[in-house]
């Protein structure tokens, strides 16, 4: 079965009869496809921004983000007119990536528990949970596109959890909320200056220990205390207040008025940095 056909199939059969039934993909509306180079620049900027926000918070230097992406600051500002626009797109990218990783696991793994385990490992690799947690206080939760993405991502994960339950492989007292919070906890960087490679290997090691405890065949399974929350339940908790933009950042009409000194002067027409990209 080729990949294009597999992508159209919403259900995967397990040999025991369990199914992974994925919700339909929500289309956010028609968009003009960007050029390949523009698309690549945008993706590199989003991934670099996610890494920098994880390491240094949402107030991190935009110049550092551009440097890690291998572009100029002018390219960043052409794609994202201000910091809030960048943070919004980083959050959307993380949510869309979460849903896609869950769907890809369902397509590629016929065993429901293996699909869930693969999704958890991939979530650690692409750091979607860590990114979202890093920018949580800056996300505009009243944004319609973010609302749709926040519904689609948990639905895809819930489908994996439901299938693993039906297959009898996942402990019946484990919820999709448990899975999501475990990934968030494991996605946080370790203190003490661990090298990135060591961080990654330790995280996957510890995730394997946790996954073993999620199985119905786990030795001497402990009774779980605390609330059994779904991902839908987690969305009912109060969200952090989005910080208001700095008064000097914009003027009526939304025009950018000023940037920090370290970020100014890089995208004026005729400058070397502006012409670089």
Residue 136 vs residues 57, 116, 242: alpha-carbon distances, Å: 10, 25, 8
CA 188 to the chain's CA centroid: 13
CATH topology of domain 89-219+227-243: Tetracycline Repressor; domain 2 (1.10.357)
Q: What's the CA gap between 66 and 3, in Å, rounded?
A: 34
**What's the pTM value of the predicted model, to 2 decimals?**
0.68
Q: Helix and strand tally (H, E) in the chain?
A: 12, 2
Per-residue tokens: 166: 């039906």
What is the per-residue pLDDT for 229?
74
Regions of the chain short of the pLDDT cut 50:
1-15, 30, 243-277
What is the per-residue pLDDT for 187?
87
What is the per-residue pLDDT for 268?
37
What is the per-residue pLDDT for 19?
61
Which residue bears the tokens 């206080």? Answer: 137
Assess contact for 101 and 152: CB atoms under 8 A.
Answer: no
Assess contact for 180 and 98: CB atoms under 8 A.
Answer: no
Q: What's the CA gap between 218 and 133, in Å, rounded?
A: 30
What is the per-residue pLDDT for 219?
65
What is the per-residue pLDDT for 239?
59
What is the per-residue pLDDT for 97?
92
Residue 156 vs residues 6, 15, 20, 159, 213: alpha-carbon distances, Å: 16, 21, 10, 5, 22
Q: What's the CA gap between 144 and 140, in Å, rounded?
A: 9
What is the per-residue pLDDT for 25?
61
What is the per-residue pLDDT for 224?
65
Q: What is the DSSP letter of 215?
A: B
Residue 21's beta-bridge partner residues?
A: 11
Per-residue tokens: 132: 């979202």
């Amino acid at each position: 079965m080729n990949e294009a056909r597999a992508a159209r199939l919403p259900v995967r059969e397990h040999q025991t009869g369990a199914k992974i039934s994925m919700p339909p993909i929500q289309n956010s509306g028609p968009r003009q496809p960007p050029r390949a180079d523009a698309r690549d620049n945008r993706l590199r900027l989003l991934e670099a921004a996610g890494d920098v926000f994880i390491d240094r918070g949402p107030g991190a230097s935009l110049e550092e983000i551009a440097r890690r992406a291998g572009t100029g600051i002018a390219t960043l500002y052409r794609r994202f007119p201000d910091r809030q626009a960048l943070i919004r797109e980083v959050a959307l990218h993380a949510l869309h990536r979460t849903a896609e990783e869950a769907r890809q696991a369902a397509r590629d793994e016929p065993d429901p528990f293996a699909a869930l385990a693969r999704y958890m490992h991939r979530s650690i690799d692409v750091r979607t949970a860590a990114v979202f947690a890093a920018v949580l206080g800056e996300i505009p939760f009243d944004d319609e596109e973010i609302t749709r993405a926040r519904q689609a991502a948990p639905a895809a994960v819930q489908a994996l959890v439901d299938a693993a339950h039906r297959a009898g492989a996942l402990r019946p007292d484990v919820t999709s909320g448990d899975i999501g919070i475990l990934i968030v906890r494991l996605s946080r960087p370790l203190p003490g200056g661990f090298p990135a490679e060591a961080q990654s290997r330790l995280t996957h090691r510890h995730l394997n220990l946790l996954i073993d405890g999620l199985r119905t065949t786990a030795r001497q399974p402990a009774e779980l205390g605390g609330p059994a929350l779904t991902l839908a339940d987690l969305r009912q908790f109060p969200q952090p207040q989005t910080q208001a933009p700095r008064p000097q950042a914009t003027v009526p009409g939304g025009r950018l008025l000023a940037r920090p000194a370290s970020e100014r002067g890089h995208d004026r027409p005729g400058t070397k940095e502006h012409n670089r990209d």
